[in-house]
Amino acid sequence: MTDGTVGYHVQVGPLDVGGVQLEIRTLLDRQQFWDPDGEAERAGISSASWPLFGLAWPSGQVLADAMSRTDFTGLRVLEMGCGLALASLVVQRCHGDITASDCHPLAGAFLTENLRLNRLAVLPYAAADWAGDNPTLGRFDLLVGSDVLYEPAQPALLAHFIGLHATPTAQVIIVDPDRGNRPAFTRHMAVLGFAATSERITTLPAGGGPYKGRLLRYLRVQ
Per-residue model confidence as pLDDT tens digits over 90-118:
999 999 999 999 999 999 999 999 999 99
Q: Could you tell me which residues are beta bridge partners of residue 14? A: 23
Domains of the chain plus CATH, in order, are 56-220 (3.40.50.150)
For the chain, give the mean pLDDT: 95
Q: Are 174 and 145 in contact (CB under 8 A)?
A: yes
Measured distance CA(81)–CA(85) in Å, rounded? 8
Q: pLDDT at position 196, please?
A: 97
DSSP code of residue 153: T
Which candidate, 106, 111, 149, 109, places its Cα nearest to that of 130? 149
pTM: 0.95
Looking at the predicted structure, is the pLDDT value of residue 4 above 60? no
DSSP code of residue 200: E
Give the mean model confidence (pLDDT) for residues 77-88.
98
Q: pLDDT at position 1, please?
A: 61
Element (H, E) at 125: strand 125-127
Work out the pLDDT band at 85, boundaries 50, 70, 90.
Answer: very high
- Tens of pLDDT, residue by residue over 115-156, are 999 999 999 999 998 988 888 999 999 999 999 999 999 999
58 phi and psi angles, rounded to 5 deg: -55, -40
Distances (CA, A) of 156 to 19, 41, 142: 33, 22, 19
Measured distance CA(13)–CA(111) in Å, rounded? 15
